[in-house]
Structure 1
Amino acid sequence: MRYSPVARLAGKLSVCLALLGGSVVSASAETVLSRDQFSDQMGDRQSSFLARDLMTGTVCRLEGSDLETRHAPWSTFKIPNTLIALETGAAAGIDHWRDWDPAQRPALQYWPEAWRQGQTLKTAFQRSAVWYFQDIALDIGSPSYRTVLEDWRYGNAVVPDGSDAFWLGGPLKLSVDEQVGFLTRMVQGELGVQNAHLADLMDAAHAGPLGSATLYGKTGSGPVRSGQFSGKFEGWYVGWLTRGDDVSVVFAHHVTGPYFDAIRTYRRDFAETLLTACGLTGAQQ
């Protein structure tokens, strides 16, 4: 078996073979989860979900998922952005410190207290502190982003000149299928990124156990209509699972809901439900 750089450095990975219950409809290379069985948890939210088992080549999706429509990545862009910051030297390491300058980045009403202070790259990732990555974006520059994102095939790779917020509502966009494709290339070591930087990302993205697997991921969200924070929201939870000696699964969950609180914890919670229902976590269903 060929081990990816992430696997060699993080030592968290394993083959994941799914035992599929009666509620799962199976095809030779695809499993489809019936949407009806999750109606109570979904409520009035819309979810699209795709997971890929890297060991078997099979995929698992939620019935009726829209895998092709592109959406703004919101804070899930912190996954590639962390790697780009490390690769370009905009951050010297995962513990690279930046002071918060309230004159340059005044706190907005919705900012949590955890954003209103200096951050390392790791804490900015974990707390989703937008201002840190906006500062990073200005240091890296739009031409460098366009070159890297085109090379990595990250969505439409659109980055306007001088923008420090191109991932927040657009114009940068990608689909559920493209999220999964990017994560697949990343964990399989196809981006040309230094092993140490992949290990740093693993450290920042660590989200704890899920069944007998270990979960890594990042949320993201924002208003469907720009600036309308009391209206409809969209969000993501994307990431990967490790079991034993290898990354076994990558996944992406995109959701829309009537307001932010309707998706705040649901983004991750329902992704975990679906990963378990797919038989990808080693947990009992």
Structure 2
Amino acid sequence: MKTTLGILQLLALMVLIFGTIPGFAQPELAQPFRDCRVQGSITLYDYKTGHWTFSDSIDAARATQPASTFKIINLLIALESGVIRDEQEVVKWPGHTDTVLYGYRPDIYKDMTVAEAFRVSAGWVFIELAKRVGRKRYAYYLDRSGYGNGNLSEKGTDFWNFGPFCITPVNQIRFLVKVYEGKSPFSRRNTGILRKVMLTESNSKYQVWSKTGWTRIDGRDIGWWVGYVESAGRTTFFATRLCKLRSEKNPDFGDCRKSITLQVLRQLQVIE
């Protein structure tokens, strides 16, 4: 009897924390992943109702490197610490490339504003900013923000792509909600700049604020799309993460981050 009660209490706690029981996926949300031939999950949070939706609640609680989605908090930290004045500050191209880690992208090898670097995901710009911020300030703001696992032991500057610093999809959303509510350690001015830079799509039916991410580590590709959608007075946060072996060729991997997310949002009638 006690064992049964303990199990029921555990399941109730899981529902309270996750909105569902880990391991019990919603099959109708898994089909887009199969269609794209990728592993992964999508996690959604309805701000008005407080309801969480998962395609795979176990995966939603698993931490991996945030890749370029880290640019969201990286921009805020650079602004808050005074490393940059605003999103229009120009960062000088340092004059080197790394085609092994990031791929050859000659279109981004130039001086550019922080806002442009955010939009085109020019990692080198944020690596230059990271050199100015320093690990102590990162540790301070990451801890106050409750963002990630706090492991900054990776010696390289680009710790959000390579190394043990990781974050879960649920944590991604919880942080975005804090920023949205004005409960993060960042000023209203700086979160306003972030909101302006994060605007990805705007039409008569909905608006999307988001950031993609993609890293290659331990023989795997890890792809993200995180953000939130406002439509018809409704705000929905999302975190989609895809994973595959690098040995498995899939030219649609990058596009699938968004196509899966939009398909699920339409399926749940968040957007038309």
TM-score by structure 1 length? Answer: 0.79
User: Which residue does the alignment assign to 1:22?
Assistant: none
Query: Which amino acid is the alignment partner of residue 278 of structure 1?
Result: L
Mapped contact 1:48–1:255 kept (Cα < 8 A): yes
Match of 1:100 among 87, 90, 93: 93
2:230 aligned with 1:242:
yes
User: Which residue does the alignment assign to 1:78?
Assistant: 71
Query: Which amino acid is the alignment partner of residue 32 of structure 2?
Result: F
User: Which residue does the alignment assign to 1:20?
Assistant: none
The 5 A counterparts of 1:181-192 are: 181-192=174-185
Task: Give me the whole-angstrom Cα distance separating, in 2, the residues matched to 1:211 and 1:234.
Answer: 32
2:258 aligned with 1:268:
yes
User: Which residue does the alignment assign to 2:166?
Assistant: 173
Mapped contact 1:138–1:162 kept (Cα < 8 A): no
Q: 1:61 to 1:278 in 2, by over 3 A?
A: farther
Task: Give me the whole-angstrom Cα distance separating, in 2, the residues matched to 1:163 and 1:280.
Answer: 40
User: Which residue does the alignment assign to 2:242?
Assistant: 255
User: Which residue does the alignment assign to 1:10?
Assistant: none
Task: Give me the whole-angstrom Cα distance separating, in 2, the residues matched to 1:224 and 1:107.
Answer: 15
Displacement of 1:193 in angstroms is: 1.5
Displacement of 1:118 in angstroms is: 0.8
Q: Matched residue of 2:175: which SS? A: helix
Task: Give me the whole-angstrom Cα distance separating, in 2, the residues matched to 1:130 and 1:137.
Answer: 10
Query: Which amino acid is the alignment partner of residue 127 of structure 2?
Result: Q
User: Which residue does the alignment assign to 1:147?
Assistant: 140
User: Which residue does the alignment assign to 1:160?
Assistant: 153
Q: 1:239 to 1:39 in 2, by over 3 A?
A: closer
Displacement of 1:264 in angstroms is: 0.9
Task: Give me the whole-angstrom Cα distance separating, in 2, the residues matched to 1:36 and 1:279.
Answer: 16
User: C-alpha deviations, 1:89-109, integer Å up to 9, x for none?
Assistant: 11110101011021xx43426
Displacement of 1:241 in angstroms is: 1.1
Mapped contact 2:154–2:163 kept (Cα < 8 A): no
User: Which residue does the alignment assign to 1:16?
Assistant: none
Match of 2:129 among 119, 136, 141: 136
Query: Which amino acid is the alignment partner of residue 254 of structure 1?
Result: R
User: C-alpha deviations, 1:186-228, integer Å up to 9, x for none?
Assistant: 1111113222211211121111147822011111111242xx5
User: C-alpha deviations, 1:137-173, integer Å up to 9, x for none?
Assistant: 1101001100110111111022238641110123210
Task: Give me the whole-angstrom Cα distance separating, in 2, the residues matched to 1:81 and 1:32.
Answer: 33
User: Which residue does the alignment assign to 1:4?
Assistant: none
Task: Give me the whole-angstrom Cα distance separating, in 2, the residues matched to 1:152 and 1:40.
Answer: 34
Structure 1 residue runs without a partner (length 5+)? 1-28
How many residues in Structure 1 have an aligned counterpart in Structure 2? 245
Mapped contact 1:152–1:191 kept (Cα < 8 A): yes
The 5 A counterparts of 1:1-285 are: 32=26, 34-35=28-29, 37-38=31-32, 41-43=35-37, 45-63=38-56, 66-102=59-95, 105-108=96-99, 110-160=103-153, 163-209=156-202, 212-225=205-218, 232-243=220-231, 248-257=235-244, 258-259=248-249, 261-281=251-271, 283=272
Q: What's the Cα RMSD here?
A: 2.3
Q: Matched residue of 1:261: which SS? A: coil
Structure 2 residue runs without a partner (length 5+)? 1-18
Displacement of 1:259 in angstroms is: 4.4
Q: Matched residue of 2:254: which SS? A: coil
Q: 1:120 to 1:33 in 2, by over 3 A?
A: farther
Q: 1:260 to 1:133 in 2, by over 3 A?
A: farther
Displacement of 1:54 in angstroms is: 0.5
Task: Give me the whole-angstrom Cα distance separating, in 2, the residues matched to 1:124 and 1:36.
Answer: 33
